[in-house]
């Protein structure tokens, strides 16, 4: 059978070991498995679209109060004092921080989404949600 000039030959996948399966990379393995599953099912695999409406994420953050007007030498005694002082006030200094507020959107199959934002603006929180 003659191949057309534009056709690309797919690499052969070996089933001998996990290392052999991954020899051409995860994308090639994923495409190979998807093709085999689609052939066995007789139809295309379903695609998934992720949608979210009014997504809000909040976190309780412990705020450290470091208001020492007089500089202290980092001695063992002063360090131990700071540790115990911090442990006693840790429960009182919790502040609720709103990371994401009423965010809506969607991620569509077959697309690449670029997520831009300032540091601490909630990019990672959005992707984990």
Residue 96 domain flag: yes
Structure tokens belonging to residue 122: 């909630």
Q: What is the pLDDT of residues 34-82, one digit of tens each?
A: 899 999 999 988 888 989 899 898 888 776 665 655 666 778 887 787 7
**Mean per-residue pLDDT for 98-109?**
88
Q: Are residues 53 and 92 in the same domain?
A: yes
The answer to whether residues 107 and 52 belong to one domain is yes
Q: Select the more confidently predicted residue: 30 or 69.
A: 30
Residue 44 is encoded by which pair of tokens? 């295309």
Domain span including residue 105? 48-66+73-111
Domain co-membership, 23 together with 58: no
Closest CA to 122 of 105, 110, 108, 111: 105
**3 state SS of 119:** coil
């Amino acid at each position: 059978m003659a191949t057309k000039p534009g056709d690309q030959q797919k690499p052969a996948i070996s089933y001998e070991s996990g290392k052999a399966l991954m020899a051409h990379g995860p994308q090639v393995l994923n495409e190979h498995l998807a093709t085999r599953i689609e052939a066995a099912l007789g139809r295309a695999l379903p695609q998934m679209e992720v949608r979210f409406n009014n997504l809000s994420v909040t976190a309780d953050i412990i705020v450290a109060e470091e208001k020492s007007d007089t500089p202290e030498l980092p001695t063992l005694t002063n360090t131990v004092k700071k540790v115990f002082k911090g442990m006693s006030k840790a429960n009182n200094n919790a502040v609720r921080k709103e990371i994401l507020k009423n965010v809506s959107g969607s991620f569509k199959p077959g697309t690449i989404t670029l997520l831009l934002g300032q540091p601490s603006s909630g990019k990672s929180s959005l992707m984990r949600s």
